[in-house]
């Protein structure tokens, strides 16, 4: 599981940063990728990061401001040019269905695959299957805006293949039964317990990806004890009043949320265009003064969860 930042700028793109979009790489876990927000040029950034639209399974939007949304029509319609496309699920605040219907109608575009649009208006579990549970909570911004808590369910223990080989237990259908912890009888008469060949269950991973927000209780609850918290840090701390006025957070405020939530690692993003990459050290050091394990995202940077 990896996070790749396709865009890290707030409001508008710069020569160094595209606007908001994040890939959650689940290729190993489910052979798919998920997209969080979809600012303009997202599909071009995906190409640079070598991710295919064919692998896109779900899109989660935090809110409907243009810097998080305007790349969506291109992603959806370009995906229609591919053959044999699987269904796609789009989750976001109320209004996204009208936006997609309007832009496809006015532009004479079409989709060649089923698009399932789920509009959210309040805190809810927006997705759950045997692998993941995704919870959404409303944040505090100028428009309805959500953060997402992604919870991986406990992964089953793996078979100790080396130990099996040492005990002269050949690979085959019995391996599936052993992985389930069953007791089986081998052809040579030996009776073995699958539990003796299982490692420890792999701990689940958790992360929180928040939209634009001032510090609020929902942010803390979403980020509680996660492995990675992605939090906006639009302004440096000296501009806190400006950030608050526009519904945003500063570097120190993002770090304070991470500390209060007992987050393991913080990645700040959504950086104001007033800052260039040369300012990254100043911004990240402000956050580190409160929460030491902080990184600042740059376009196309990847982080392992």
pLDDT score recorded for residue 84: 77
Same domain, residue pair 15 and 32: yes
- Note whether 88 and 100 are within 8 A (CB): no
Return the minimum-mean-pLDDT range out of 114-128, 178-192, 216-230, 264-278: 178-192
∠ CA(106), CA(111), CA(115), 5° rounding? 110
Same domain, residue pair 218 and 171: no
pLDDT score recorded for residue 200: 74
CA distance 38 to 302: 17
Per-residue pLDDT averaged across 275-279, rounded?
98
Same domain, residue pair 79 and 181: no
Contacts of 83 (CB under 8 A, 6+ apart): none
According to DSSP, the residues that pair with 159 across neighbouring strands are: 198
Same domain, residue pair 150 and 168: no
Domain of residue 288, CATH code = 3.60.15.10
Please identify which of the residues 25, 37, 67, 212 carries the catalytic annotation: 67
Same domain, residue pair 171 and 253: no
Instruction: Quote the pTM value.
Output: 0.89
For residue 67, indicate whether it is catalytic. yes
Task: For residue 218, give Cα distances in angstroms to 223, 268, 303.
Answer: 8, 17, 24
Number of domains in the chain: 2
pLDDT score recorded for residue 40: 97
Same domain, residue pair 129 and 186: no
pLDDT score recorded for residue 271: 98
Tens of pLDDT, residues 228-272:
999 999 999 999 999 999 999 999 999 999 999 999 999 999 999
* 194: pLDDT strictly greater than 90: no
pLDDT score recorded for residue 185: 87
According to DSSP, the residues that pair with 73 across neighbouring strands are: none
Return the minimum-mean-pLDDT range out of 64-68, 137-141, 196-200: 196-200
Helix (H, G, I), strand (E, B) or coil at 36: strand
- Tell me 154's DSSP state: P
Give one word for 164, left, alpha or beta, with left for phi > 0 and alpha for psi -120 to 50: alpha
Say what percent of the chain tops pLDDT 90: 82
Tens of pLDDT, residues 53-97:
999 999 999 999 999 999 999 999 999 999 878 999 999 999 999
Same domain, residue pair 72 and 123: yes
Same domain, residue pair 215 and 180: no
Per-residue pLDDT averaged across 270-282, rounded?
98
CA distance 24 to 93: 20
Q: Hey, CA dihedral for 100, 105, 108, 114, is it positive or negative?
A: positive
* Structural domain range at position 277: 2-155+202-304
What strand order describes the sheet that includes 124-128?
Answer: 124-128, 132-138, 146-152, 206-209, 228-232, 266-269, 294-296
Question: In the structure, what pLDDT confidence band is assigned to residue 203 with cuts at 50, 70 and 90?
Answer: confident
CA distance 209 to 6: 14
* 184: pLDDT strictly greater than 90: no
Closest CA to 8 of 275, 16, 17: 17
CA distance 59 to 92: 8
């Amino acid at each position: 599981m990896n996070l790749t930042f396709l865009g890290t700028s707030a409001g508008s793109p710069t020569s160094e940063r595209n606007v908001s979009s994040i890939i959650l790489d689940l290729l190993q876990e489910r052979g798919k990728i998920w997209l969080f927000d979809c600012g303009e040029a997202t599909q071009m950034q995906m190409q640079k990061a070598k991710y295919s639209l064919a692998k896109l399974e779900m899109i989660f939007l935090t809110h409907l401001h243009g810097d998080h949304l305007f790349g969506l029509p291109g992603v959806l319609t370009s995906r229609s040019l591919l053959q044999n496309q699987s269904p796609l699920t789009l989750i976001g605040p109320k209004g996204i269905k009208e936006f997609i219907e309007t832009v496809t109608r006015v532009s004479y575009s079409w989709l060649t695959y089923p698009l399932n649009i789920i509009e959210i208006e309040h805190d809810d579990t927006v997705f759950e299957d045997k692998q993941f549970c995704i919870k959404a909570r409303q944040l505090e911004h100028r428009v309805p805006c959500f953060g997402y808590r992604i919870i991986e369910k406990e992964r089953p223990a793996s078979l100790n293949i080396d130990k099996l080989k040492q005990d002269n237990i050949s690979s085959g259908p019995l391996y599936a039964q052993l992985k389930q912890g069953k007791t089986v009888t081998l052809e040579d008469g030996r009776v073995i317990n699958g539990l003796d060949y299982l490692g420890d269950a792999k701990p689940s991973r958790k992360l929180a990806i928040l939209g634009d927000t001032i510090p609020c209780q929902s942010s803390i609850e979403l980020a509680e004890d996660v492995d990675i918290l992605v939090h906006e840090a639009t302004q440096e701390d000296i501009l806190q009043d400006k950030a608050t006025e526009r519904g945003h957070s500063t570097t120190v405020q993002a770090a304070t949320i991470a500390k209060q939530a007992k987050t393991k690692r913080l990645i700040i993003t959504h950086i104001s265009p007033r800052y260039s990459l040369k300012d990254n050290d100043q911004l990240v050091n402000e956050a580190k003064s409160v929460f030491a394990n902080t990184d600042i995202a740059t376009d196309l940077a990847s982080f392992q969860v």
